[in-house]
Structure 1
Amino acid sequence: MLGLAQRAGKLISGTETILDELKRKRVKAVIMANDIQDNTAEKVNLATKKDNIPLITAFSAAEISHAIGKKRKVLGLTDVGFAKTLIKRVNEGV
């Protein structure tokens, strides 16, 4: 799903980019590695809670990096459809 979103241009990556785009209300869901540094996790958590943005922490940094072919720990989905589909799949355990 993340690879599809990336190819469609609906995925952004990098902590600072995500935080900036959250302020601009462009991010519909955030995927954060469950093995990320505590201070980064805290920044992302606060930013997502502020605007009630779904935060997915079901994947490791290695899994996220493998899915998109780049070394990343924080991703943002900018499309509602991709966000809803990913959240549904994570909740179902797919």
Structure 2
Amino acid sequence: MNKEEQLLNLLGLAQRAGKLVSGEDLVIKSIQSNQAQLVFLAQDAGPNLKKTIEDKSRYYQKMVVDQFTTHDLSLAIGRQRKVLSVVDSGFAKKMRSIMS
């Protein structure tokens, strides 16, 4: 299993464990309230969404992962989403270790 598949599997696990926030407004709130540990943004997200999420993440010093498409993220969590945030430090730590 490659790194991308491992990350997508972990996203699915985080979703089932209730440790994932999805949707633009909820993700922005999780970034602002410092709950977001890691932010996933689809490569094919619209320019407005990309700018909003990247600006908020930069300001609040959150890492943004943009290597997946909307299709990849949606398949991993079982619903159509362009942006996700991981709100559990354990999941985020494991995902960072896979990416490095």
Identity %: 33
Q: Which runs of 5+ in 1 are unaligned?
A: none
Residue by residue over 1:15-61, the C-alpha shift from the partner in whole angstroms, topping out at 9 and shown as x without a partner, is 11101111111111100001100111000000100111111001000
Partner residue in 1 for 2:90? 81
CA RMSD of aligned residues (A): 0.9
Q: Displacement of 1:11 after TM fit?
A: 0.3
- What residue in structure 2 maps to residue 30 of structure 1? 39
Aligned to 2:59: 50
Q: TM-score, structure 1 length as denominator?
A: 0.92
Q: Distance in 2 between matches of 1:45 and 1:23?
A: 13
Please name the residue that 2:28 is paired with. 19
Q: Which amino acid aligns with 2:32?
A: K
Instruction: State TM-score, norm by structure 2.
Output: 0.86
Deviation at 1:7, TM superposition (A): 1.0
Counterpart for residue 39 of structure 1: 48
Alpha carbons 1:61, 1:73 under 8 Å: kept:
yes
Q: How many residues align?
A: 91
1:90 paired to 2:96: no
C-alpha distance in 1 between matches for 2:41 and 2:79: 14
Q: How far off its partner does 1:88 sit?
A: 2.5
Name the counterpart of 1:62: 71
* Residue equivalent to 1:9: 18
The answer (yes or no) to whether the contact 1:56–1:87 under 8 Å persists in 2 is: no
What stretches of structure 2 of length at least 5 have no aligned partner?
1-9
1:31 alignment partner, SS class: strand
